[in-house]
Amino acid sequence: MNTRIGTLSTLAATALLSACQTAPVQTAPVQTAAPPTSPEVVGEFRKGTGYLNGYIDRKELPDSLALVPPPPALGSARQAADLQQHQQTRALRNTPRWEYAFKDVNLKFPEAAGVFSCALDMPISQEATPHLNMLLRRSLVDAGFATYRAKDHYNRKRPFAELGETTCAPKEEAHLSKDGAYPSGHAALGWAWGLILAGLAPDKANALVQRGHAFGDSRMVCGVHWQSDLEAGRVVGAAAVARLQADPVFQAQAQLAKAEIAAARAKGLKSDRTDCAAEAAALKR
């Protein structure tokens, strides 16, 4: 019996070795198409909005209702802290920080592509860095939409609506008065963008994450969010980035965006914005 088993084992090993020796050699990895950089190919999530489809199906986005606690209760210490912080930021009205809060309102591309240009110290655009541009444009929807389960559930009033004030963006007020404040979509988005870019350019991580934080703070300066809205938004933004790491299209586009950053640096390209020093000074508030 042992002799038969040994013989069979030898024959099997010989056949396997023969198959390995005669199998065709894989000379190159299978090529796959690069993620699209064309807005027309990616498509809008709602026609006419200019906002493109994200990477993640909406059913698979992080559940903000499960991730963040309820907003501060009426009469609580946290609510009092929110009100105090809001009142302090009223002193920034009509200052350079107020102006940058207004600029940070705009989420439409190509304008929004330049938000991190100073922090990254290079141009960001559809023409100069198509994969980086698309990475920001699509993740905008993922991070922003991830806030809506909690937003719709709590339907928290925004500071300007609660207190009868005006904001840095009067044209937004009618819409925002009907849209829940908690968590902040802008804060989720700014934090997500900062974390994504920090992963692509770790040598600029501090500046990029700081700019992402300031992007959220702009909403409090503008008068459309409370401090606790921003804190909850950043939790959701971080969760969205974590979820994106498992998406193969996002990962492929991120690698191509990283190559674009390296190529821009090799060419010695710098930010094409002329207000980088002014932005840095204003955001210190």
Of the segments 2-11, 31-40, 65-74, which one has the largest average pLDDT value? Answer: 65-74
State how far the Cα of 61 lies from the Cα of 151, in Å rounded to an integer. 14
Q: Report the pLDDT value the prediction gives residue 208, as an integer from 0 to 100.
A: 98
Per DSSP, 183 falls in state: S
Closest CA to 220 of 92, 68, 106: 92
Does the pLDDT value for residue 20 go beyond 60? no
Residue 92 is which amino acid? Answer: L
| pLDDT level of residue 108 (50, 70, 90 thresholds) | very high
Q: Can you give the pLDDT at residue 32?
A: 65
Bin 272: left if φ > 0, else alpha if -120 < ψ < 50, else beta: alpha
pLDDT at 34 over 60: yes
Q: From CA 155, how far away is CA 181, in angstroms rounded?
A: 7
Share above pLDDT 70 across residues of the chain, in percent, rounded to a whole number = 88
- The Cα–Cα gap between 196 and 237 comes to 10
The answer to whether residue 234 is domain-embedded is yes
Residues 183, 261: Cα–Cα separation, whole Å: 32
Exposure class string for 227-246: b at 16+ Cβ within 10 A, else e: bbbbbbbbbbbbbbbebbee
Of residues 216 and 31, the one with the higher pLDDT is: 216
Joined together, the tokens standing for residue 2 give 């042992």
The catalytic residue positions are 186, 219, 225, 229
The predicted pLDDT at position 33 comes to: 83
3 state SS of 65: helix
Task: Kindly tell me if the per-residue pLDDT of 194 is higher than 90.
Answer: yes
> Where on the phi/psi map is residue 254: left (φ > 0), alpha (ψ -120 to 50), or beta?
alpha
The answer to whether the CB of 42 falls within 8 A of the CB of 134 is yes
Residue 39 domain-assigned (yes or no): no
Residue 17 domain flag: no
C-alpha distances out from residue 204 to 149, 200, 211, 255, 258, Å: 33, 9, 11, 17, 13
Residue 53 has pLDDT above 60, yes or no: yes
Look at the chain and count its residues: 285
pTM for this structure? 0.87
- Asked whether residue 238 is assigned to any structural domain, the reply reads yes
* C-beta separation of 216 from 200 below 8 A: no
pLDDT tens-digit series, residues 128-176? 999 999 999 999 999 999 999 999 999 999 999 999 999 999 999 999 9
- CATH code for the domain in which residue 181 is found: 1.20.144.10
DSSP letter string, 203-249: GGHHHHHHHHHHHHHHHHHHTS--HHHHHHHHHHHHHHHHHHTT-HH
Report if residue 35 sits inside a domain. Answer: no
Long-range pairs for 165-170 at CB < 8 Å and ≥24 separation? 165/223, 166/223, 167/222, 167/223, 167/224, 168/93, 168/98, 168/101, 168/102, 168/105, 168/221, 168/222, 168/223, 169/102, 169/105, 169/222, 169/224
Q: Are 215 and 186 in contact (CB under 8 A)?
A: yes
In which domain, by residue range, is 168 found?
97-285
CB of 216 within 8 A of CB of 190?
A: yes
Query: Looking at the domain assignment, is residue 214 inside a domain?
Result: yes
Number of structural domains in the chain: 1
Segment 261-285 mean pLDDT: 95
Residue 36 CA to residue 126 CA, distance in Å, equals: 12
